[in-house]
Structure 1
Amino acid sequence: MKEIEPTSKKGKRILEQEIATASMTGVRRAWNDDSIAKGLNPVKLANVLAAANQGDIYDYLTLAEEMEEREPHYGSVIRTRKLAIEGLDRHVEPGSDDELGQKIADDINNLVQSAEFDDLISALVDGLGKGFAACEVMWQSFKPTEYKWCDPRYFTYAADDAYTLRLRNEDGTAGQHLPAYKFVVHQPKLKAGVPIRGGLARMAALSYMCKTYALTDWMAFCEVFGMPIRVGKYGNGASDQDKTILKRAVANIGTDAAAIIPESMQLEFIQAASSTGGESLFENLANWLDKQISKAVLGQTMTADDGSSNAQSQVHNEVRLDLLKADAKQLAATINQQLIKPYIDFNYGVQEVYPKFVLHVPEPEDIAGLVDGLSKLIPLGLKVPQNFVRDKLGIPDPQEDEELLVAPTAQGIMPNQMPPLNSTTQLNTANPALDIEDDDDLDGFINVTEQSIKALVTQLQSANSFDEMLTLLNDAQLNTSDIADALALAGIKAFADGVK
């Protein structure tokens, strides 16, 4: 990029005017009816990809655009991957804890939460399919006010640099430099090498072409499937005119179901041989090709093609988690470097540490495993903050005077229904399964259980992971009934002692 002094009159004027403007004619046409997908065959596709390898990217970008418009499955999965990024929560991590650092972070947070910022994200994720995307930033008083998606065909790569974009010139030359801070250019690193060879459209192009052939043949097959073969017979002395009449009659009877022929000629209908399974050949091929495209774009086929259950979808999300994380990290890095940093430099000056814009990818939670683990560990003395559990389960904090759900006690009695207890006899009545004559027996039962729990806690403290702790718990074969009884009786005893 050619450096400019943004604070100068010329620099400010460049930042505020639109550069990648469209026109009715020329290399940056607003209405473009060029087509590469029409009549696509192996030779034509090979030529398009080879030309892109040499820097002539116009036809490849046209094909990539047409693939999203023409092929429902590819258009659906590429859109799914884009929307997965667009739907992520955005937040800003301050560069420092001082007052200025917090002020800058709040300013950037307002910037990235604005409705206009959605246009920037939407424009840049277009680079996933094509290999790069460019968005022009419209500045006003050194603040971005609008983000304009640019047709990638408006750009080309420098002849001597396969990583640097140039704006196409009308005279067909190598292109003009992009002014600094004027464009945000995102080049996803989906594979090693030059960006134009990393677009998802390139990976899916062969499957797209093969599916086009499959659908064409499928439609032709459907047109004649089940129709009888029409055979016309003429005598040895038939003239060329007679043969032409018979041929026309055979053709017309297939569409009009009527024909006129001389009495000396014959028409026969031969029933087509049964082709059991033949009708599914093209469908199976089309489905197989769809799965290859799904794997290329989403990293999996389960949610896109296989009709997964809800449990499977929790593991195999719409976009594979590692792909989504990489996409989010790379896009955030582009925005931090090409938009956030210049914005801060313009308005606050150069900073030692800059705030970081982050696209947050939530981790899928194993709710059943979490609840099962907590139900085993909390009775053993593990202290867990309520806010932590509420955040994991997505349960909001209760409001004042709000009706709350309350768990029953071990005996099935609600806490507010607990009868007054004044003696050990009432304890035995509440739990007749326990033969406790006096307080000493109760204390002994509780102490034995407590010692067993302490021994297990000592083992759990030596565990190196959550899975290892669960293994120790399972191996311990805890009598949870006794533990529950001990805890319940201890609470009841304390309650009874308090009301004596």
Structure 2
Amino acid sequence: MADAPIIYGPDGQPIRREVLTASVAGPTVTGVRSPFGAYPADGLNPRRLASILREADQGDPISYFELAEQIEERDPHYLGVLSTRKRSVSQLDITVESADDTPEGKSIADMVEAWLRRDELQFELFDILDAIGKGWSQTEIIWDTSEGQWQPKRLEWRDPRWFRPDQRDGVTPLLRIDAGDAFAQGLPPAGPNGGGYAPLPPFKFISAVIRAKSGLPVRSGLARLACWSWMFKAFTQRDWAVFTQTFGQPVRVGKYPAGSSEKDKDTLFRAVANIAGDCAAIIPESMLIEFIESANVGSSHQLYKERADWLDQQMSKAVLGQTATTDAIAGGHAVGQEHRQVQEDIETADAKALAAIINRDLVQSWVQLEHGPQKVYPRLRIGRPESKNVTQILDGISRGVPMGMAVEKSYMNDLLGIPVPSPGADGRMPELLTPSASASPFGSMFPSASPQQRALAAAEMIMHDVRDPIAVLSDQAARLCAPGSDALVDEVRGVIETSTSLQQVQEKLRALKPGAAEAQMAGLMRMARVIANLTGRASIPDA
């Protein structure tokens, strides 16, 4: 590692390798990066929410990030659709494309692909996709150099409250550091709480920005929209709870006769009050309690439910682009398919954005640390495998190969998902499936066809071959006669298998009348003679 080449970061300065091996953005209970935050969602109102968003726009997004986290904790619908969007991407297949076809390029790609098989990767990608909700996320790369190599050991999600955008551009992330570190680096203080904000070390962070709309990262996350929807729904739920508490039970009215004493009145009042909670009371026989039910309770509560459901549907549209997969309001199979396609489009966009971020901040950094700067770097791709019509492809290959089309065996194995056979631990090849010895080349290609159909297919291939016709006829003579000869052999084999002596075989063969096999063979021979005659005539130059 002492002879490692000098690598420069985006700022043009050499990177400090000793910084890469240390944790620089972890929590500090007694410092400025406390893992415990405030609860701005408590008692939230439009004036307070507007103030929080305005603070975030001006470069102080701490309260906004705290509010975004609280909404995920308190709104089951928002948590559900947001988690669905993140998990659908974090579980997709990841493939690696080598930078070039050189052995070194393939070796580097294999290195990256081997690291991607880690079981923890799915959870790490899920944390990186926190940028979908909050607009950005910062993930610290913990590098492993235990054996003299550079390799990402793990990817640690860092609380977005510990970062803020540079006020000069509103985009560049800065890390919050303690006052002593800020003073040592000559950085200005971060405010009344002390500390300061420093640039992120190169090759140390995965800075993910996934925008729901164009603009600054802090204004482009879905949480900015969700906070308004959640606040309005919280008001609705509060009013609904008050309505239910007030009108969910009938009004109790106690009546006492004239001349009742204060003691009797107190007794009646306690009885009426206790019925609400205890549902039981005793009163003197001379007193009366009436229960008055509201006639419109059943229809009045529907307004609150419809408003809450409508807000959830709007949130589904914002996060997943549709409502059919979350709210069960699809208008039939066609509408459901269309809504699902919209969700898949969003999934594809998220996958491409995530792949670009990892290629930029992790793959290229890793390759430079381990192998030095390269002209081109391997690229990983995230997405669902492309669907292929295997039956149609196999049919085309079965027709094209006899006509000269070249197809690699490895392609067929990949197409069918069948691994290429390899020697076992003892060095011997495993037992492989093989075609029947009596099957002709065309019989294996057209297993359900009759011998005559196979012969016609063979002749058609010969006639459409672009090579020299005479060469084709000489090369394909055996194949052309194969269906008929196979049929003849089958007839003779049947005679031999059913006979008990050589004399009986001779008698059966003499008694055997020409059948379909002989007719097919004769037809094949006539067909070959016709093709040869026509080919010869076609070769005669015009006078």
Same-fold status (TM-score > 0.5): yes
CA distance, structure 2, for counterparts of residue 416 and residue 299 of structure 1: 48
Distance 2:159 2:81 in 1: 21
- 1:422-437 alignment, distance < 5 Å: none
Shift of 1:73: 1.3
After superposition, the Cα gap between the structure-2 partners of 1:389 and 1:191, relative to the gap in structure 1 and judged at 3 Å, is same
Query: Residue 366 of structure 2 is aligned with which of 343, 351, 363?
Result: 343
- Could you tell me how far apart the structure 2 residues matched to 1:403 and 1:397 are? 19
**How big is the shift at 1:128?**
0.7
Kept after mapping to 1: 8 A contact 2:364/2:377 = yes
* Partner SS, residue 176 of structure 1: strand
- 1:188 aligns to what? 210
- How far does the alpha carbon of each residue in 1:403-444 deviate from its partner, in whole angstroms, 9 at most, with x for none? 99xxxxxxxxx96796x98xxxxx9xxxxxxxxxxxxxx9xx
Compared with structure 1, are the counterparts of its residues 216 and 396 closer, same or farther at alpha carbon in structure 2 (3 Å cutoff)? farther
Give percent identity, aligned residues only. 37
Give the Å deviation of 1:258. Answer: 4.3
Residue 117 (structure 2) pairs with residue 109 (structure 1): no
Aligned pairs, number: 419
Question: CA distance change for structure 1 residues 386 and 254 in 2, over 3 Å: closer, same or farther?
Answer: farther
Query: For residue 155 of structure 2, what is the amino acid of its counterpart?
Result: Y
**1:2 Cα offset (Å):** 6.1
Alpha-carbon RMSD across the aligned residues, in angstroms, is: 4.6
Q: Answer whether contact 1:93 1:105 (CA < 8 A) is retained.
A: yes
- C-alpha spacing 1:241/1:163, structure 2 compared with 1 (3 Å): farther
Q: For 1:203-245, what per-residue CA distance to the aligned partner results, in whole angstroms no more than 9, with x for missing partners?
A: 2222222222333333444445553222345789999998776
CA contact (8 A) 1:324 1:361 kept: no
Quick check: 1:198 aligned with 2:220?
yes
Query: Which residue is equivalent to 2:183?
Result: none
- SS state at 1:161 partner: coil
Output the CA distance in 2 between the equivalents of 1:243 and 1:81.
62
State the secondary structure of the residue aligned to 1:254: helix
Q: State whether residues 166 and 174 of structure 2, in contact with CA within 8 Å, keep that contact through their aligned partners in structure 1.
A: yes
Bigger mean CA offset, 276-285 vs 181-190 = 276-285
Aligned residue among 53, 66, 86 for 2:70: 66
Q: Using the alignment, how far apart are the partners of 1:254 and 1:324 within structure 2?
A: 51
Q: 1:394 to 1:255 in 2, by over 3 A?
A: farther
Counterpart for residue 27 of structure 1: 32
2:302 and 2:412 mapped to 1: Cα distance? 51
Amino acid at match of 1:212: A
Structure 1 position 192, deviation (Å): 1.1
Contact 1:116 1:147 (C-alpha < 8 Å) held by counterparts: no
Map 1:37-52; keep pairs closer than 5 Å: 37-52=41-56
**How far apart in 2 are the matches of 1:386 and 1:316?**
39
- Distance in 2 (CA, whole Å) between partners of 1:318 and 1:164 is 34
The residue number in structure 1 matching 2:14 is: 5
Matched with 1:358 is 381
> C-alpha displacement at 1:98, in angstroms?
2.4
1:327 aligns with 2:336: no
1:301 to 306, 323, 336: 323
The answer to whether the Cα contact below 8 Å between 1:135 and 1:185 also exists between their aligned partners in 2 is yes
1:305: how far off? Answer: 1.5
Instruction: Write out per-residue CA displacement over residues 3-53 of structure 1, whole angstroms, 9 at most, x where no aligned residue.
Output: 6534xxxx22211011112133443223x2522223233233222222212
Query: Counterparts of 2:246 and 2:435 in 1: how far apart (Å)?
Result: 69
- 1:212 matched to 2:234? The reply is yes
Q: Structure 1: which amino acid aligns with 2:26?
A: T
Task: Measure how far apart 1:257 and its partner are.
Answer: 3.4
Q: Is the 8 A contact 1:81 1:319 kept in 2?
A: no
Query: 1:252 and 1:296, CA in 2 relative to 1: closer, same or farther beyond 3 A?
Result: same
Answer whether contact 1:230 1:268 (CA < 8 A) is retained: yes
Give, as a single letter, the amino acid of the residue that structure 1 aligns with 2:312. D
**CA pair 200-140 structure 1, distance change in 2 beyond 3 A:** same
Q: Which amino acid aligns with 2:34?
A: R
Is 1:89 aligned with 2:93?
yes
Matching of residues 59-458 of structure 1 within 5 Å: 59-141=63-145, 142-170=150-178, 171-225=193-247, 227-232=249-254, 247-259=269-281, 267-306=289-328, 315-317=338-340, 320-362=343-385, 400-401=432-433
Identify unmatched segments of 5+ residues in structure 2.
Answer: 1-9, 179-192, 422-431, 437-445, 461-517, 527-543
Cα deviation, residue 290, structure 1: 1.6
> TM-score with structure 1 length normalisation?
0.69
How far apart, in 2, do the equivalents of 1:277 and 1:391 lie?
Answer: 63
1:77: how far off? 0.9
SS in structure 2 of the partner of residue 166 of structure 1: strand
Structure 1: gaps spanning 5 or more residues: 405-413, 422-426, 428-441, 448-491
Say if 1:337 and 1:271 are closer, same or farther in 2 by CA, change over 3 A.
Answer: closer
Normalised by the size of structure 2, how large is the TM-score? Answer: 0.64
